[in-house]
A and B are shown apart, each in its own frame.
Chain A
Amino acid sequence: MFATRPNLTRDLIIAAAALIVLLLLPYVWPSRMINDLVIRVSAFALFATSLNLLVGYTGMVSFGHGMFFGFGAYAFGLSMQRLGVSIPTAILITIVSSALLGLVVGAISIRLKDIYFSFITLAFQMLLYSTVIAWVPLTGGDQGLMGGIPRPPFLGIDLSIESHRYAFAVTLVVIGLLAMRQIVESPFGYTLRMIRDNTERATFLGINVFRAKLTAFVIAGVFGALGGMVMALFVSGAYPEFVNWTMSGEGIFMIMLGGLSTFIGPAAGAVILSLLNDVITRGTEHHGLVLGAVILLFALGLRKGVTDFIADWFRVRREASSRSGG
């Protein structure tokens, strides 16, 4: 199944090229600021692309996806702080626990259609948020996980060194995006598209829609949690803002900004929004006011993501050349 899919070689080459470019970037352009930005973008790219598995590919508009981002950050941070395990073990704990969270939340939420689904996912996120705030002895409440996350070396990788951290984050995001690409291009990925376009037809064809949606929800949750984990590694802590609803709002904005009809759109949106947030934070203290205005301009003016425009441009050109060429 893995080797036969068309374009797999192309995707692998693109991924390898992207990885090489990202790994070489610090040598070509040594800048602490760029490094930090790339790590943050990596976290958000995983988060936004995983959200798009639900929104763009399956038609499930989750408004609580930030719950996984925050959960991943806390799960990883707490495993390192409290259990004193190695980093690979903590990653495994993060993956397994976020999959379980996805399973429970998904099993309840997926019964609901359309806007009810959006509501209940948001409600679950806020439940997690209020738990994080209230459970001070474990989570540090509104102060967040303080005292830093220990980063013992493993397999010759020492994540307390900045260059290692950078390489780890970009490798993880490239592998993560490639894995998600593989999922959406697999027969399962096309099943999800069919459910999005015509649920009834999928049911008639004997597809267990509930199970397929639940699988997608769990997968998206795990990748979202990995994004949160990268973030926790980067800031060496976890904060309630990671679990707050604004995280989900930003996720939605990222995939809209980048364009949800292409695979790479959400990741592009993560880059744009991160840059934008940096500029806004540096330029003004009224972050919400400016970001809100930008979102309004986008929603009422542009109305389409950046990669949507590019994809349209290519389509128009192709159609024009096929017409003139006969």
Chain B
Amino acid sequence: MNLAALTDCLTSASCLVTQTTSGLIIGMLLFLVAAGLTLIFGVLKVVNFTHGSFYMLGAYLALTVNGLTGSYFLAVLAAAAGVAAFAFVFERFFMSKVYGSNVLMQLLVCYAFILILDDAVKIIWGPEFKSMGMASAFQQPPIFIAGGIIPVFYLFLIIVTLIISVALWLIITRTRFGTVVRAAAVNPSMVSALGINTGLVYSGVFVLGGMLAGLAGGLAAPVRSLTAGMGFSILIESFIVTVIGGMGSIAGALLGSVLIGLVRSFGSIGFPLFVEGLMFLLMAVILILKPSGLLGKEG
């Protein structure tokens, strides 16, 4: 524990800016993953334990495409598209078979895929840590705000994730697809009685969620070391985020993600060995005060 360092940081503008930025990066990337998880749960009432593996897959796809084409833009695009396609297959041919079963069967199918994907990644890309490297466009001197150092890539990440978040919000609230999705979350049998193919809606939600996770993985690839276990740690963080924000609530996921991002970034200064513990502590406190999460509905 190093409270002196934390107080020093909180009282210095430069440190405040740097840490807030890195907290926002962690938070916004986490949000992309958690938003898909919470969306899938909200509509299908299924917990996609493989969601972290989607993120991992996105990062590795980006690594390969970046290596082949040298274009970070194409790499991120491929990550999103590739994981979306994978999510489609996963939902149609595996997950949809156990919608009617109990939660244990769904858990088992996800568990199987986590094992398979982790091993597949080790076989295809090797067991050692990989790093993708920064695209040359971002290799520029960092920006200084109030003495705080912000790499250009960080600024780019924040802007892109914000754009994606707004786009997601528009899709959910302003499009016909979004309306159907929201209706299916509340009353799937009524949606189906109105002549809408709910199976297709479920598939669409899974693909959208998978695409977000793939995007997050692709975007994060330059600033993360890639390893076969990386999916599970972000899965746990996404769980914490959705529980804090309220399962099924996308706004809650945003709030939770930013909170967790800030806890991680400032916590690493004050309690370097207990950062994970801080997140769980935050979750436990919120659950005791409000079991349905900050923005979740009761029941």
B283 (CB) vs chain A CBs: closest residue: A123
- Asked if A112 CB lies within 8 Å of chain B CBs, one says yes
Contact A296 B291 (CB under 8 A): no
**What separation, in Å, do the CA atoms of A304 and B277 have in the docked complex?**
38
**What separation, in Å, do the CA atoms of A314 and B284 have in the docked complex?**
46
**What separation, in Å, do the CA atoms of A126 and B243 have in the docked complex?**
15
Residues of chain B within 8 A of A122, CB atoms compared: 236, 239
Contact A289 B116 (CB under 8 A): yes
Residues of chain A within 8 A of B236, CB atoms compared: 122-123, 126
Contact B123 A286 (CB under 8 A): yes
The total of Cβ contacts below 8 Å across the A-B interface reads: 112
Kindly supply a per-residue 1/0 record for chain B positions 261-299, scoring 1 wherever the CB is within 8 Å of any chain A CB and 0 otherwise. Answer: 000000000000110110010011001100100000000
Contact A295 B287 (CB under 8 A): no
Residues of chain B within 8 A of A118, CB atoms compared: 47, 103, 107
Contact A293 B104 (CB under 8 A): no
Contact A55 B104 (CB under 8 A): yes
- Asked if B91 CB lies within 8 Å of chain A CBs, one says no
Find the residue from B115, B119, B287 having the highest chain A CB count within 10 A.
B115
**What separation, in Å, do the CA atoms of A135 and B274 have in the docked complex?**
10
Residues of chain B within 8 A of A293, CB atoms compared: 112, 116
Given A112-B291, A127-B277, A296 and B94 contact (CB-CB distance below 8 Å): yes
Given A126-B276, A288-B118, A300 and B111 contact (CB-CB distance below 8 Å): no
- Asked if A124 CB lies within 8 Å of chain B CBs, one says yes
**What separation, in Å, do the CA atoms of A80 and B103 have in the docked complex?**
39
Contact B243 A295 (CB under 8 A): no
Contact A289 B119 (CB under 8 A): yes
Instruction: Give the secondary structure class of B's interface.
Output: helix
How many residues from B make CB contacts under 8 Å with A? 38
Contact B103 A292 (CB under 8 A): no
Contact A115 B47 (CB under 8 A): yes
Given A61-B104, A126-B276, A253 and B111 contact (CB-CB distance below 8 Å): yes
**What separation, in Å, do the CA atoms of A109 and B144 have in the docked complex?**
45
Contact A120 B287 (CB under 8 A): yes
Residues of chain B within 8 A of A115, CB atoms compared: 41, 47, 103, 247
Residues of chain B within 8 A of A300, CB atoms compared: 94, 97-98, 109
A179 to chain B, nearest CB (A): 25
- Asked if A316 CB lies within 8 Å of chain B CBs, one says no
- Asked if A267 CB lies within 8 Å of chain B CBs, one says no
Residues of chain A within 8 A of B155, CB atoms compared: none
Contact A108 B277 (CB under 8 A): no
Contact B108 A287 (CB under 8 A): no
Contact B104 A287 (CB under 8 A): no
- Asked if A182 CB lies within 8 Å of chain B CBs, one says no
Residues of chain B within 8 A of A108, CB atoms compared: 284, 287-288
A74 to chain B, nearest CB (A): 17
A197 to chain B, nearest CB (A): 14
**What separation, in Å, do the CA atoms of A295 and B111 have in the docked complex?**
8
**What separation, in Å, do the CA atoms of A55 and B118 have in the docked complex?**
27
- Asked if A234 CB lies within 8 Å of chain B CBs, one says no
B196 to chain A, nearest CB (A): 26
- Asked if B69 CB lies within 8 Å of chain A CBs, one says no
Residues of chain B within 8 A of A135, CB atoms compared: 273
A108 (CB) vs chain B CBs: closest residue: B284
- Asked if B154 CB lies within 8 Å of chain A CBs, one says no
- Asked if B3 CB lies within 8 Å of chain A CBs, one says no
Residues of chain A within 8 A of B111, CB atoms compared: 249, 252-253, 292, 295
B123 in complex: contacting residue of A112, A130, A289, A303, CB < 8 Å: A289
Within 8 A of B (CB), among A105-121: 108, 111-112, 114-116, 118-120
**What separation, in Å, do the CA atoms of A289 and B243 have in the docked complex?**
31
Residues of chain A within 8 A of B276, CB atoms compared: 126-127, 130, 134
A246 (CB) vs chain B CBs: closest residue: B115
**What separation, in Å, do the CA atoms of A53 and B72 have in the docked complex?**
51
- Asked if B86 CB lies within 8 Å of chain A CBs, one says no
Residues of chain B within 8 A of A286, CB atoms compared: 119, 123
Contact A252 B104 (CB under 8 A): yes
Contact B239 A111 (CB under 8 A): no
B277 to chain A, nearest CB (A): 6
Within 8 A of B (CB), among A269-290: 286-289
A134 in complex: contacting residue of B97, B113, B273, CB < 8 Å: B273
Contact B277 A119 (CB under 8 A): no
A121 to chain B, nearest CB (A): 11
**What separation, in Å, do the CA atoms of A207 and B240 have in the docked complex?**
32
- Asked if B139 CB lies within 8 Å of chain A CBs, one says no
Within 8 A of B (CB), among A32-53: none
Given A120-B287, A131-B277, A245-B232, A289 and B109 contact (CB-CB distance below 8 Å): no
Residues of chain B within 8 A of A303, CB atoms compared: 101, 105
> B residues near A, CB below 8 A?
41, 47, 94, 97-98, 101, 103-105, 107-109, 111-116, 118-120, 123, 232, 236, 239-240, 243, 247, 273-274, 276-277, 280, 283-284, 287-288, 291
> A residues near B, CB below 8 A?
55, 61, 63, 108, 111-112, 114-116, 118-120, 122-124, 126-127, 130-131, 134-135, 245, 249, 252-253, 256, 260, 286-289, 291-293, 295-296, 298-300, 303
- The 7 A-B residue pairs with the shortest CB-CB distance, nearest first, are A288-B119, A292-B116, A292-B115, A295-B112, A288-B115, A289-B119, A292-B112
**Given A61-B103, A288-B115, 15 new contacts (CB under 8 A):** A55-B104, A108-B287, A115-B47, A116-B247, A116-B287, A120-B284, A123-B283, A126-B276, A134-B273, A245-B232, A252-B107, A252-B108, A296-B94, A296-B112, A299-B112
Cross-chain pairs A/B with CB under 8 angstroms, 9 sampled? A108-B287, A120-B283, A123-B243, A256-B104, A292-B111, A292-B115, A298-B108, A300-B94, A303-B101
